[in-house]
Amino acid sequence: MLFNSISFLIFLPIVFGLYWFVFQKNLKLQNAFLLLASYVFYGWWDWRFLGLIIASSAVDYWCGLKMSTVDSQQSTENSANSTIEGPGKETGNKNLTKKQPWSMVSGLWTGKRLYLTISLTFNLGLLAFFKYFNFFIDSAADFISLLGFQPHISTLNLILPVGISFYTFQTLSYSIDVYKGKLKPTKDPIAFFTFVAFFPQLVAGPIERASNLLPQFFKKREFEYQQGSDGMKLILWGLFKKMVIADNCALVVNPIFENYQTASGLELIMGAILFAFQIYGDFSGYSDIAIGVAKLFGFDLMTNFRTPYFSRDIAEFWRRWHISLSTWFRDYVYIPLGGSRVTKVKAIRNIFIVFLVSGFWHGANWTFIAWGGIHAALFIPIFLIGKNRVHLNEGDHMIPSFKELIQMISTFTLVSVAWVFFRANSIGDALGYLIRTFSNPLFPNSFNWFGYHLRVALVIFLVLEWIGRKRSNWIEIIPLKWYRYPVYFLVAFSIMYWGVFTQKMDFIYFQF
Amino acid sequence: MKKFLVKIFFFCLISVIVYPIFIGSLGSYWLTQRRLTKNLIFNQGGNSFMWSKLHEADTTKDIDVLILGSSIALRGIDTRIFKEYGLKAFNLGSNYQTPLQTEYLLNKYLNQFSPKYVIWEVTPITFQNRGLESFIDIFSNSNIDKGALKQSVFISDIIAWNTLIISLKRQIFDEFDNYNEREIKGSTKYVQGGFVESNNLDFDDRDKLDLYSIDFLEYQKLAFEKNLNLLNQSNVKILLVQSPTTYEYNKCITNWNYINSYFESFEENELIVDYRNYNEIIPNFGKDTSYFTDKMHLNRIGAKKYTKFLIDDFIETFSY
């Protein structure tokens, strides 16, 4: 079910009404209803893949409980030991999780580590099978061909389950946090299954941490006017980003990328810039709607974007782009690898690993790995000169200085070049696109600027984004004065008037 | 919660009231500027000369042959040739006319025209189309009535609703009558009797075509069968035709068997229907691009030649 579809327009008010008016008295029933609604939401796309979410939830729920059992057993043993060894020695949970290094292979099949291994193997196995199986087979076949042999390998006709990368990462965060002792495992299966399948963020994030979202399922929820109102505003602005900005950009971008061989340099530049806006409008629009819908049900999800195209360097960009994923990789990959508190060489290795894995997370294609690699290559020089934490806040001034403007434009340019790899069908296409940007004639025979409405919409969009750059959204900072209503009407009307309704436009991140 | 729901309700209510005013005022202005009109298409006149056609149709009565269908009929069946045979014909073809729009036009004009025969160009792609293009073509040039509202519900597209708003506004403020359509636009010319003559004799080869199969939409099939019944009840004899298109275009459609058998199935029941696929009857026609302006449409020379062939066949079929 897409957020910008008629089916969701009918689904949301029904679920909202039943949630608040029928099931509010009983928290468990309310959670159970939310779970049912989430499964309907997901099953609308393909009910057969519900089994995967249920299996993933069940495995992690069970692993969590088992880790807790092991914990309590070990605490008992340790307290018995402490009686013998005497007081003063740190034992128990913290000792187990913090002092044992990740890389320790021995003991993989014992204690808590066993259940973490089961959780990791199951979830990453699902991902590997459904998302990467064909990629590995094809790559192996290509490699064998390169060696001069004739490979006889057949791939499987696998359908990629929507949102699999998002919900497996979400459940993994739970297992890892329980393992590390940062989180107590839940004994309420309904709450846990709902946490995994919570429909607003199920298929394209934000990837929530169990420590943030799970406790909200145990709290009695009361409808708050301000929260509901904020939710509606976010939904409205998210729809604008998706239907006016992203989808209109897509109408220009798609033909340019499909025919890049014959396009002029100017068109190729335009295609790369507009794709940057397309993917931002598409994904941050989805996140806004997800956060907004969650608010309608009394939940607060984490911010996923903070005006990333106003970043002054790549490091700042990554603090503002897809925050839920970049912080996931920081907490569960980068830091366990040693982060930056290791030798320079190891730190560079860690950065490369995180960016490459992050690229690979997006899709089973070398283009995504290249995209990750480019970002690593852009990030590492700033890291080496120690300037990766220079721009930690947005600044108070209304107009950027000339220096800042240049920094923003150059960061945006680099990001846009990297997006070409993200958007292209193959590395060859991406390189061809970039080479032709400079080798093809700069001006086409008849240059057709993209629609006037899109140009106007982009200018309005950029101005509003700039105004709201200190928050996740400008629409949240409109004063509660009478004139906010005409603003909402204008946003709603511009969606009706400029939005793309006729073509079927999926959210880009659904494929991940 | 009550405050929230009340505000949402009023927001929706005011939107429903204010949006038409927004489209009627700002949208109308942007239309004149030809800017910012993404979801607002108002095609007064247009390249199908719909304004002239519908105005002529309003005053036309008692004809022999009514021609229906898409732009292939509009530009391919020359009503002047019928005159040479002593037949009074009117071409109600319009761009991308789907059975839904044909239903609207038949309901509006059938009694007034009281034709004895209908030649209906049943272009396959119009049966898999919702009919937005044709809707805009018709209702940018016609007053809004119940039929128009019914069609807009079927099409369910913001562009269709915006067209209706502008059309309604023009109707209310009598702006429709200020329009005068030119008889010649570029290389096309409106000919009395509803035919549009294409005088561009250079074949346009630019469209790249891919192989595709056509699946008819259920509601278009229903509308088509309803139209046949309506014509049958009025004792009108019907000739369903596939007018010539280029050989290259025809070979892109991969399921001609399905298409032909669907239309041939109507020959077997009580309706007085015959079906002709002229791409199969005169296969060489589509191979000669000098008869075409593009891959689907005949130019004036092709239209003249094809119409003569069509009338001869028509006379023989119905022993006229």
CA distance A385 to A349: 16
Chain A contact residues (CB < 8 Å to B): 20, 223, 225, 228-229, 232, 248, 451-453, 456, 485, 488-489, 492-493, 496-499, 501-502
Residue of B nearest to A497 (CA): B39
Structural domain ending residue among the three candidates A194, A222, A250: A222
Number of domains comprising chain A = 2
A362 is a catalytic site residue:
yes
Please tell me whether residues A210 and A262 are part of one structural domain.
no
Using pLDDT thresholds of 50, 70 and 90, give the confidence band for residue B317: confident
- pLDDT at residue B131 tops 70: yes
B89-91 and B117-121 beta bridge pairing = unpaired
A164: number of Cβ within 10 Å: 21
Q: Is the dihedral of CA A114, A116, A120, A123 positive or negative?
A: positive
Residue of A nearest to B132 (CA): A502
- pLDDT at residue B2 tops 50: yes
CA distance A80 to B242: 91
Please tell me whether residues A128 and A197 are part of one structural domain.
yes
Q: Which two tokens stand for residue A36?
A: 């049912």
What pLDDT does A393 receive? 76
Please tell me whether residues A175 and A279 are part of one structural domain.
no
Lowest average pLDDT, out of A123-132, B11-20, B224-233, B295-304, goes to A123-132
CA triple A61-A67-A69, angle to 5 deg: 105
What pLDDT does A512 receive? 56
Mean pLDDT of A284-299: 95
Write a three-state SS string for A313-357: CHHHHHHHCCHHHHHHHHHHHHCCCCCCCCCHHHHHHHHHHHHHH
Do the beta carbons of residue A187 and residue A214 sit within 8 Å? no
| Tens digit of each residue's pLDDT (9 = 90 or more) over A458-478 | 999 998 888 888 776 777 777
CA distance A189 to A182: 19
Structural domain ending residue among the three candidates A198, A222, A246: A222
Instruction: Give the one of B3, B36, B158 whose C-beta lies nearest to A456's C-beta.
Output: B36
- Any domain includes A342: no
Please tell me whether residues A259 and A238 are part of one structural domain.
yes
Please tell me whether residues A82 and A109 are part of one structural domain.
yes
Summary mean pLDDT of chain A: 85
Task: Flag if B1 and A488 touch (Cβ within 8 Å).
Answer: no
Instruction: Give the one of B1, B35, B157 whose C-beta lies nearest to A502's C-beta.
Output: B157
- Any domain includes A350: no
Chain B contact residues (CB < 8 Å to A): 1, 3-4, 7-8, 11, 14-15, 18-19, 22-23, 27, 35-40, 132, 157-159, 162
Structural domain ending residue among the three candidates A222, A252, A287: A222
- Any domain includes A341: no
- Any domain includes A337: no
Please tell me whether residues A268 and A399 are part of one structural domain.
yes
Please tell me whether residues A289 and A434 are part of one structural domain.
yes
Please tell me whether residues A489 and A404 are part of one structural domain.
yes
| Tens digit of each residue's pLDDT (9 = 90 or more) over B38-88 | 888 888 888 889 999 999 999 999 999 999 999 999 999 999 999 999 999
Query: According to the per-residue pLDDT averaged within each range, which of A152-161, A481-490, B13-22 is highest?
Result: B13-22
Lowest average pLDDT, out of A113-122, A154-163, B192-201, B240-249, goes to A154-163
B261 vs B36, residue with greater confidence? B261
- Any domain includes A43: yes
- Any domain includes A353: no
Interface with B, mutate which of A497, A498, A500, A501 (most B CBs under 10 A): A497
Name the active-site residue from A362, A375, A391, A453. A362
Please tell me whether residues A165 and A252 are part of one structural domain.
no
Percent of chain A whose pLDDT exceeds 90: 55
Interface with A, mutate which of B4, B28, B34, B133 (most A CBs under 10 A): B4
- Any domain includes A68: yes
- pLDDT at residue B161 tops 70: yes
Please tell me whether residues A108 and A194 are part of one structural domain.
yes
B184-185 and B188-191 beta bridge pairing = antiparallel
Do the beta carbons of residue B92 and residue B68 sit within 8 Å? yes
- pLDDT at residue A303 tops 50: yes
Residue of A nearest to B133 (CA): A502
What pLDDT does B127 receive? 94
Do the beta carbons of residue A205 and residue A290 sit within 8 Å? yes
Please tell me whether residues A162 and A275 are part of one structural domain.
no
What pLDDT does B320 receive? 58
- pLDDT at residue B222 tops 90: yes
Do the beta carbons of residue B40 and residue B166 sit within 8 Å? yes
- pLDDT at residue A394 tops 80: no
The ipTM value here is 0.79
Please tell me whether residues A418 and A451 are part of one structural domain.
yes
Task: Flag if B37 and A453 touch (Cβ within 8 Å).
Answer: yes
| Tens digit of each residue's pLDDT (9 = 90 or more) over A47-68 | 888 999 999 999 999 999 998 8
CA distance B200 to B217: 34
Q: At what angle do helices A452-467 and A265-296 cross, to 10 degrees?
A: 50
Q: What is the DSSP letter of B48?
A: T
Task: Flag if A501 and B36 touch (Cβ within 8 Å).
Answer: no
Lowest average pLDDT, out of A101-115, A298-312, B195-209, goes to A101-115
Task: Flag if B7 and A229 touch (Cβ within 8 Å).
Answer: yes
- Domain extent at residue A475: 226-312+391-511
Buried-exposed string B273-312: b where 16+ CB fall within 10 A, e elsewhere: bbbbbbbeeeeebbeebebbbbbbbbbbebbbbbbebbbe
- pLDDT at residue A83 tops 50: no
User: For residue B119, what are the β-bridge partners?
Assistant: B67, B239
Q: Which sequence spans correspond to the domains of chain B?
A: 50-318
Task: Flag if A498 and B7 touch (Cβ within 8 Å).
Answer: no
CA distance B136 to B113: 23
What CATH number belongs to B50-318? 3.40.50.1110
Mean pLDDT of A141-160: 71
- In chain B, % helix, strand, coil (3-state, to 5) comes to 55, 10, 35
